[in-house]
Chain A
Amino acid sequence: MLIYTLRRILTMIPILFLVSIVVFTLALAMPGDALSGQINPADSSPEYIEEMREELGLNDPVYVQYGRWISDIVQWDFGRSFTHRMDVTELIGTRLPNTILLSVMSLVITYILAFFMGRYAGRNPYTKGDYTIQGVNYLMLAIPSFVAALFAIFIFAFQLGWFPATGSVGSGLETGSLAYWGSKLYHTFLPALVLGMLVTASYTQFLRNDIIESAQKDYVRTARAKGTSENEIYNKHILRNSIIPIVTLFGFDIASIIGGAVIIETIFSYRGIGELLVSSISNRDSAVTMAIFLMLSIATLLGNLLADLLYGIIDPRIRME
């Protein structure tokens, strides 16, 4: 396992290098650069603009620019955001905790919901309850997350008034106080629920089918024959086997959450990384865009690596490849 892990990590290095090149190339191709947002072309003379470009190194050959960018990043310098007037590292530092809270909460909700719905449907297949869960599942798989988010805001925030419609924290609360954290969790619940919907549906489905299949297996029959109670058979013997494959998918969850967070945060005006990415692209704040784009690409890469490693732990045959 150790050798397998090391080999997998080593193959990441060239991929990381290629990813950085792709990110850099796309960022160059995007409208706007480090200068265009800072000055107004209408009241700056062309000579001044040219001078500034020279000074910022925007006229250097592409590979020189890339070298400078990557060496800055290695030294943890991601440049400056001109819309927010602060260093990108600092800016991301203020937003990242929100996104992490949203992702963790979404995963927790997903696991809890999928566990109970999947277990119920698997234990009582082809009953009314099972069909209801299946119906909800089909709907959750079909409805795009942004449509679901709008419906969730309309129903739970406006019609029922249970949750706030937008934002990531209430105003006028002292940072770090209990009320502050309570308000944060309260604001995060609805977006987290919508964000986890797709994964919840697929895990519920998976758990249900796996439980139904396992219930026919020999070891279950043996357990029944020796007089184990039905509850114990389902909770101990079957569930333990059925949950393992879901755990291995954790890495892929990270990747799917990253994509989903961009949409969900934007709709809920939730001040996280995804919302920052969308607004930075719209504002042509290239330093921020590049940093987040690189960060999310690496996070996805690590998520996939984690998925592979977890899979290697569960299924030893993978390691031999």
Chain B
Amino acid sequence: MEAAEEVKLEKKAKKQSPWSIARRKLWHNKLAMISLTFLVVITAMAYMAPWITGYDPGRVDIMSRNLQPGEGHLLGTDSSGRDIWTLLMYGARTSLTIGFVATFAVIMIATVIGSTAGYFGGWVDSVLMRFTDFVMNFPFLVFVIVLASIFRDAGIWALIIVLSVLSWTGAARVVRSKVMSEKENEYVMAATSIGGTPFKVIRKHILPNVMTTIIVQATLLLAVMIVAETALSFLGFGVPSGTPSWGNMMTEARDPNVIRTQWWVWIPPGLAITFTILSINFIGEGIKDAFNPRSAR
């Protein structure tokens, strides 16, 4: 009997890895779970748009311009007669894809630069951090607008590159400081002493311990990237105007008359962006909280 209980306890103790604790905490965080569900549903709708709507997002229909929401067009149509509900889903695809890909790219750059600077220290660190400070010193949005206007006709991949090249600095600094403190631990010395190359030590031993920081940074960045894309497209410096995106959909609202009389053109994408960012923020807070050993729950 006693032995069985001991085994049980042991099992329980084994289960309590930081990851499983965090997963359980996150699972019990209602706000984060609702947000995650919302984000998953939006993403699913975005990529399954052709099966959900019968309209073609690119088709211009002169006969049904500026229609109010109603039969046939759930959310009305825009000035070229395109269905807003259809554009909303195809737009989500563009905006979310840019957000996810740019975030991935930024995290990659930030991790490489941050961990190299943090692990090696010395002059490598100085050079990399001075460079980071330098990039950081530019006004982000102004810089993105200027760069995007140079590559305006190059499509969404150019936009992704421009966004990624300019926004890795904050995350790189965070990764660097985390790697620097992690490096002082004995397990790193042990790993180096048995002949681990710097690359292997960073990848196999340090990075797993920096992972939580990176994940939290990634959620923050995802929100920033989506906002940046939509704002740029809204101003006319982002996604080419033929491609539907949440920002492009709102471009028409630069005319005050559209704001006043055709609310269905800009309110749906506006709300879609806001709720997406809100849910990403809640997920981010949930993850941060889940990995915080001091937080209850």
A interface residues with partner B (beta carbon < 8 Å): 15, 18-19, 22, 26, 29-31, 138-139, 141-147, 150-151, 153-154, 158, 165-166, 255, 258-260, 262-263, 266-267, 277-278, 281-282, 289, 293, 296-297, 299-301, 304
Contacts and interface: CB of A to CB of B under 8 A. Distances in A.
A18 B134 CA distance: 9
Given A151-B270, A259-B142, A278 B259 contact: no
Interface in B277-293: 277-278, 281-282
Interface string B169-200: 00000000000000000000000000000000
Contacts of B146: 26, 30, 281, 289, 293
B259 A263 contact: no
Contact of B142 (A19, A144, A262): A262
B124 interface: no
B139 A259 contact: yes
Interface in B108-152: 134, 136-143, 145-147, 149-150, 152
9 contacts: A26-B146, A30-B146, A31-B149, A139-B278, A154-B259, A165-B260, A263-B231, A296-B139, A300-B138
A277 B142 contact: yes
Contact of A15 (B137, B236, B278): B137
B18 to A, nearest CB: 25
Majority DSSP secondary structure for residues of A touching B: helix
Interface stretch (B42-50, B97-105, B249-257): B249-257
Interface in B41-91: none
B168 interface: no
Given A146-B234, A277-B142, A300-B138, A165 B270 contact: no
A143 B277 contact: yes
B140 A259 contact: yes
A141 B149 CA distance: 28
A18 B133 CA distance: 12
Leading 4 A-B pairs by shortest Cβ distance:
A259-B141, A142-B278, A142-B277, A147-B270
Contacts of A26: 146-147, 150
A301 B137 CA distance: 6
B84 to A, nearest CB: 15
Contacts of B139: 255, 258-259, 296-297, 299-300
A147 B260 contact: no
Contacts of A31: 149-150, 152
Contacts of A154: 259-260, 263
Given A144-B274, A146-B231, A297 B259 contact: no
A286 to B, nearest CB: 11
B273 interface: yes
B254 A144 contact: no
Contacts of B260: 154, 158, 165
Contacts of B152: 31
Contacts of A158: 259-260
Contacts of A297: 137-139, 142-143
Contacts of A266: 235, 254
A138 B273 contact: no
Given A26-B150, A150-B250, A150-B270, A263 B281 contact: no
B254 to A, nearest CB: 7
A38 to B, nearest CB: 19
Interface of B: 134, 136-143, 145-147, 149-150, 152, 223, 227, 230-231, 234-237, 250, 253-254, 256, 259-260, 263, 266, 270, 273-275, 277-278, 281-282
Given A22-B138, A147-B274, A150-B259, 6 more contacts: A138-B281, A147-B250, A147-B270, A154-B263, A166-B256, A281-B146
Contacts of B278: 138-139, 142
A141 B143 CA distance: 22
Given A138-B281, A259-B141, A267 B254 contact: yes
Given A138-B281, A158-B259, A263-B231, A30 B141 contact: no
Contacts of A19: 137-138
A278 B251 CA distance: 14
B256 A153 contact: yes
A299 B139 CA distance: 9
A144 B231 contact: yes
Given A147-B270, A153-B259, A29 B150 contact: yes
A44 B146 CA distance: 29
Nearest to B258: A150
Centre residue among B140, B259, B273 by max chain A CB count within 10 A:
B259
Contacts of A281: 145-146, 149, 237
Nearest to A12: B137
A299 B138 CA distance: 9
A300 B137 contact: yes
B236 A304 contact: no
Contact of A263 (B137, B235, B256, B273): B235
A165 B256 contact: yes
A297 B139 CA distance: 6
A293 B150 CA distance: 14
A264 B167 CA distance: 21
Contacts of B137: 15, 19, 297, 300-301, 304
A131 to B, nearest CB: 13
Contacts of A143: 273-274, 277
B235 A278 contact: yes
